[in-house]
Amino acid sequence: MLQNKKHQVKRIWFIITALVVVLLAIFFMVPRHEQSTQSTTKVATVDDQPVQLNTSATSALVVDLTTGQILGQKNSSKQVAIASQSKMLTAYGVLKSIKSGKIKWSTMVPITSKADLSKEDSHLFSHIAIKAGDKVSVRELYDVMFANSANDAAFALGEFVTPKGETTQQALESWAKELHLSGSQWYNSAGQVNENAFENEISSAPKTASNKASNQQLAMIARAILELDPSLRQLSKKLTISYHMTPNFVVTDKTDYWQLMTETMPNLSNPNQLTIEGLKTGSSPESGAGFTGLIKDKNGYEFITVVNGIANYMDETKRYQESLRIVDQVLAQKQPNYIKENQTVGHLKTLTFPNTKQEHIIVKAAQTRHYWTNKGVKLAFTQPTFDSKLANIKKNQTVGYTTAALNAQYLPYAQKTEKRISLKSTSSSKPVNWFVKFWRDRTK
């Protein structure tokens, strides 16, 4: 009996030894797999430059709002006088103060002599019926600053949100620096020529000094305030505006958008059925007519348009017609290429993760993205960036990124996250055990 047990033990050890020998043979004889999770084939990059806009404007720009891609331009980096388009930077200062909790929409703003334009001709210097000593809410001043380009509202808000120890000019310059508006010039919060800024005049600056920025920089401000206040998309729907002169007396005026929507738009050529949603006009004898617009096409794509030096500063037609026309020029030459959320991105169907049980994880787009190219161009996508060492993956987890193989122009400091597409896993996968990992490494 003892002898039989010894034979059985020997037999078992023989089998174990044989298995070890076989495994060692595989280990040393099979070439080690060099891990390659994706093809490294170079993807052809599409060269896509902005349309050179044919316009009588001194400078012009069309930008995709969502991505910051520049679609059309003319002298768009040139510094020009921007007049009341300056009020968008004042709005940025207000929105920052609200976001940080320093003020609320309901906060009452005391009107000082710096914002009292009650004795001025409202046809020459747009203002509302407020005077020093009054108190008006942030919301009402903000709304009338956009809807009727009220200079007194802009002066009041600029002064109110200026940090203690700073001048309003310094505050404007600080906000401009935050937005990377290099080379821009700022004197007052309303956009008045220095000699017409009343008590807000900068004594050390020339009387003819005026706020200046490039069309690209105006688009950068527009994107920033739209992110902070998406309700600005409803500006053109505000046909009347109300504010309190006293707690019990409300003034209601027609807005500049009333004239735009009821009198101007019906007479404009608009073959692409574009909608002007806002944003801000600028007018002065020195700068001529200007307009930073938010325009939407019938497919829902939104564009920031900027035209400056387009006509006489009193013009109420050409600035809007030219804004529509430059978008028409872009749409005639370019098409959107979009990837929808939960859609396969080009040929990127799977990503390889050797440390997970499933190994090859099917991936989809984690969000909807679009890119503009010349018509007829088929877009490809770059090799993905991802961590191949991931071991424990959950469904819908972001596991990598890719972007369009597109040589396009974007606004300065456009975020990388706006250009790239996140890739998410469509399934979960637990870490692989050591034996399977060992076998994969040796047999592939």
Compute the distance between CA of residue 64 and CA of residue 315 in angstroms, rounded to an integer: 26
- Neighbouring residues of 10: CB distance < 8 A, sequence distance ≥ 6: none
Q: Are 111 and 244 in contact (CB under 8 A)?
A: no
- Over its length of 444 residues, how does the chain's per-residue pLDDT go in tens digits? 545 555 665 666 666 665 555 555 544 443 333 333 444 556 778 888 999 999 999 999 999 999 999 999 999 999 999 999 999 999 999 999 999 999 999 999 999 999 999 999 887 888 998 999 999 999 999 999 999 999 999 999 999 999 999 999 999 999 999 999 999 999 999 999 999 999 999 999 999 999 999 999 999 999 999 999 999 999 989 999 999 888 888 999 999 999 999 999 999 999 999 999 999 999 888 788 999 999 999 999 999 999 999 988 888 899 999 999 999 999 999 999 989 999 999 888 999 998 898 889 999 999 999 999 999 998 889 999 999 889 899 999 999 999 999 999 999 987 766 778 999 999 999 998 766 666 566 556
Whole-number Cα distances in Å, 320 to 248, 280, 301, 327: 37, 11, 18, 11
At 231 the pLDDT is: 95
- Burial, 229: exposed, middle or buried (Cβ in 10 Å; 0-12, 13-18, 19+)? middle
- Give me the amino acid identity at 352: T
Q: Which helix (H) or strand (E) holds 8?
A: helix 2-29
- Per the rule left: phi > 0, alpha: psi between -120 and 50, beta: everything else, 285 is alpha
Token representation of residue 336: 């959107």
Give the Cα separation of 155 and 116 in Å (integer): 9
Apex CA 359: angle with CA 357 and CA 360, to 5°?
140
β-pair partners for 292: 280, 306
